[in-house]
Structure 1
């Protein structure tokens, strides 16, 4: 009997490997091969100067040296991280609050499904459409300035896109509005998976709602929080569409909203594949290092 059972297990495993083949093939063609090609191109001088094609010519690590000597990568990394933090901090706070409300059975909230749907809806709207809407609303002659002037709050139109922190705030606000619904759903799912007997025992012991949240809910949500932070960090580093549309690809004012992916897009647009490849590899390393730091920072012995 044991031999027959092992034989059956091998046959079932064979079907499992067969079902994995489509994923492996898609991964190799659309992810692994482009990754290897990008690393390979990063060691070559390959760009277009006017109508003349320069390269491809092997230059070793020259593209990487030039990338860090210019210093632009650190400026754009700082811009990216500032706008991500400005959007992520209120996002995680609001999502935790909404998740705690909707998953708390004692509140007996009505219309939970409706509100969950409304909260998630902004995530379904294209970022480009959202950015165009904000660009129209906050333009010099847009509805926001018109309302502020009519209310007497401003004496003249405020140019939101000509000031560093107002532009960064609009980018962060857009990212917050688009993603807090998705984060809320994830955190809510984690909260609903916590054993209700833990809350009942805490209430019997006289714990307050605040103590229950910080002593039970947050510690047990740690795996979900790590996942949300890392995925949000990766999305933040890849921030492109919102600042690209709001600033018309310039990263103004004074390059304060130029992100790493916008910087990469400029190299690709100018056909500088060598520098684009080097920057892509640096982005890959930066993302991995920051994700590892977040994971290690949130990891506990428990």
Structure 2
């Protein structure tokens, strides 16, 4: 008896494997996203410490008008962007330098695996533990002030946690430490993906290291840099845990590090203002999308121009071809009528 051969339906099994992800995405991402957008048009909150429920009452764009007229949104969004830039700029510069050093054939750094592990380790530390550690180190009676006073550099302890610049700098420093290792590894992967023969041929032709970097390496790293830039921007806009724990939910002096997500969290407790918090979230989502599109356009302006020129050329060729075919058709019809 011949064994009956069964054919595997790969499409069916593929749907089965994808189905759990789709269910989790719909339940935990899509439904909350749609409900946030829906409730942003309603007056819906609790008062008297959550004892009395108000709404949901449809008010149209009332919550959005409150967001733009109250002024808090722009202040806290500005805080978020300032702290993100203070951490991201040194992060991308240092990560790019480390990636170039680790992938350089000239330097040939030994024990690269150990160095990569060390720079990535802060990313594995919980943000809560990191924030409490830095808070303890830079407190008025902490080890940093004790070290500075004992060495005679200062007469009395500096109140790092009571100054706007120092609090912002410390929060940005923590974000830098937690993410520069991850950025370094991503940039290393991008540099290692570049064809080394191109770099070697440029060096043979007399190009210096600086010229090779700016003319060859950096343009070829644009996709990775754009990915790092956009993901870092999204993560920076969603900054919450480090400033929340570091400032004990107060946002630092003059609310200088009170981020937009901390503001949304404050709206949800204890009054649970679902409508206003939803409007803030929707506005934040739109701004994030616009900033991502702007970054994409700025970093790929040359490619966009080339695509536009190619489209124009193709349109020109099509119009010329259509004119030729129409003239040929007219000649054919005219000759056909004569005959």
TM class by smaller structure: over 0.9
Once residues 293 and 118 of structure 2 are traced to their aligned partners in structure 1, the CA distance between those partners, rounded to angstroms, is 34
Which deviations, in whole Å up to 9, do the C-alpha atoms of 1:94-121 show, x marking residues without a partner?
0000000001122111000110111110
- Aligned partner (choices 40, 43, 51) of residue 42 of structure 1: 40
Q: Map Cα deviations across residues 261-295 of structure 1 (whole Å, 9 max, x no partner).
A: 00000011121111111111111111111111111
Q: What are the Cα deviations for residues 152-188 of structure 1, in whole angstroms up to 9, with x where unaligned?
A: 1111111111111111000100000000000000000
What is the CA–CA distance in structure 2 between the aligned matches of 1:296 and 1:29, rounded to whole Å? 33
CA RMSD of aligned residues (A): 1.4
Q: What's the offset of the Cα at 1:19?
A: 2.9
Measure the CA separation in 2 of the matches of 1:131 and 1:298: 34
Secondary structure in structure 2 of the residue aligned to 1:198: helix
Instruction: Report what 2:154 is aligned to.
Output: 154
Instruction: Give runs of aligned pairs for residues 24-35 of structure 1, distance below 5 A.
Output: 24-35=22-33
Q: How many residues align?
A: 294
Query: Following TM superposition, by how much is the alpha carbon of 1:17 offset from its aligned partner in structure 2, in angstroms?
Result: 3.5
Structure 1 residue runs of 5 or longer lacking an equivalent are 1-7
Q: Distance in 2 between matches of 1:196 and 1:22?
A: 42
State the SS of the aligned residue for 1:107.
coil
Matches within 5 A, 1:69-108: 69-108=69-108
Normalised by the length of structure 1, the TM-score is 0.94
After TM superposition, the score normalised by the length of structure 2 is 0.84
- Between the aligned partners of 1:37 and 1:285, the Cα distance in structure 2 is 16
The SS at the match of 2:129 is helix
Instruction: Give the structure 2 partner of residue 213 of structure 1.
Output: 213
Q: Describe the superposition over 1:59-86 as per-residue Cα deviations: whole angstroms up to 9, x where unpaired.
A: 1111111111111101111110000000
**SS in structure 2 of the partner of residue 54 of structure 1:** strand
Q: Give the aligned partner of residue 4 of structure 1.
A: none
Q: Counterpart in 1 of 2:322?
A: none
Report the counterpart of residue 246 of structure 2 in structure 1.
246
Q: State which drifts further: 154-163 or 86-95.
A: 154-163
Matches within 5 A, 1:258-269: 258-269=258-269
Larger radius of gyration: 2
Q: CA deviation digits over 1:240-274, x for unaligned, max 9?
A: 11111111111121111110000000011121111
